[in-house]
Amino acid sequence: MNRHVEPAEPSSEPPVPAPTFAECARTLVYLGRTGTLATVSRRHPGHPFGSIMPYALDAMGRPLFLISSLAMHTQNLAADGRASLLVTQPGAAGDPLAAGRVTLMGEVAAVPPADLAAARGAYLAAHANAAYWVDFQDFAFHRLELLDVYYVGGFAAMDWISAAEYLAARPDPLADVAASIMEHMNRDHADALLVYAHVLARSTAEEATMVSVDRLGFKLRLKSAERLHSARIPFPREVRTAEDSRVVLIEMLRAARAAGGLATQTGSTAPTTGSAHP
């Protein structure tokens, strides 16, 4: 798999468990609500034409669009259905090239009559304001039938994902609560994050920030003097709920403090039952 990574030094350490790129892509698209739709221009044949495009997902994870026949992208699609949808990581801060993004490629076609009720329900659940124009005569539901998927998870993490792999994947079970977990840990338990960094990541970092969390573990951004780097730390078992993550993070902190003797050095206190995260 081409992930644009320099050859790694041989290591006896087992790889850190992480979601597949298909899972990461599926999760990112699930969390998004708007992307950039590129269609083939009628006015300038062969040139891509980009449009901001709200979308929802059907039960299989395929993007659904509610578009007007008056819109330029709809007119382009009527002549050539080939298109791609770029979705970027919602709420990402800092360097945009370090954030996740997914490009979904395929052909856009009108949603068949048998699927219209489900498409309408899914779209209005994601975009309630669309209820004001969903029944206008010039608007219709369309769907992107996937051909291929390209995922970028930040620097040195990128690859093609087959449409079948993407459709078979499911959003990470922590997708809806990951932001609140990270916000709470970074705000209230910076000292605990340093314990994880020092003991579990074997780092001498002065600062540690949780930048992602999923069912298999979490990623810390570490600052050591002027150097910024990252470390992924696995959970001891799969985590599927906010409460699971609270329990596991407390267990990991206690074990790390016992193993590394860092509690006294950092002044760290374990996340409590009532405040580990919402």
State residue 262 phi and psi, 5-degree precision: -95, -5
The average pLDDT across 22-40 equals 97
What global pTM score does this model have? 0.86
Contacts of 120 (CB under 8 A, 6+ apart): 134, 141
For residue 160, the SS3 value is: strand
Q: Please tell me the number of Cα atoms within 13 Å of 260 on its side-chain side.
A: 24
Tell me the pLDDT tens digit for each residue of 130-163.
999 999 999 999 999 999 999 998 877 899 999 9
Tell me the pLDDT tens digit for each residue of 42-94.
999 999 999 999 999 999 999 999 999 999 999 999 999 999 999 999 877 66
Query: In 3D, which of 45, 163, 28, 31 has the Cα closest to residue 105?
Result: 163
For residue 21, the SS3 value is: helix
Please tell me the distance from the alpha carbon of residue 253 to that of residue 251, in angstroms, as a whole number.
Answer: 5
| Neighbour count for residue 277 (Cβ, 10 Å) | 21
Please report the pLDDT score of residue 228 as a whole number: 86
Q: What is the percentage of the chain residues whose pLDDT exceeds 70?
A: 88
Please tell me the distance from the alpha carbon of residue 148 to that of residue 166, in angstroms, as a whole number.
Answer: 9
Please report the pLDDT score of residue 13 as a whole number: 65
Please report the pLDDT score of residue 276 as a whole number: 44
User: What secondary structure letter does DSSP report for 9?
Assistant: P
Instruction: List the domain boundaries for the chain.
Output: 21-168, 178-266
Please tell me the distance from the alpha carbon of residue 117 to that of residue 110, in angstroms, as a whole number.
Answer: 13
CATH architecture of 21-168: Roll (2.30)
Angle at 47 between CA 44 and CA 48, to 5 degrees: 125
Angle at 230 between CA 96 and CA 3, to 5 degrees: 65
The token duo for 224 is 């050591």
Please report the pLDDT score of residue 268 as a whole number: 45
Please tell me the distance from the alpha carbon of residue 149 to that of residue 147, in angstroms, as a whole number.
Answer: 7
For residue 31, the SS3 value is: helix
Return the residue matching tokens 């950039």: 36
Tell me the pLDDT tens digit for each residue of 180-211.
999 999 999 999 999 999 999 999 999 999 99
- Angular region, 120: left φ>0, alpha ψ -120 to 50, beta rest: alpha
For residue 15, the SS3 value is: coil
Return the residue matching tokens 């705000």: 187
Return the residue matching tokens 């798999």: 1
Please tell me the distance from the alpha carbon of residue 163 to that of residue 141, in angstroms, as a whole number.
Answer: 21
CATH code 3.40.190.120 for 178-266: no
| Neighbour count for residue 6 (Cβ, 10 Å) | 6
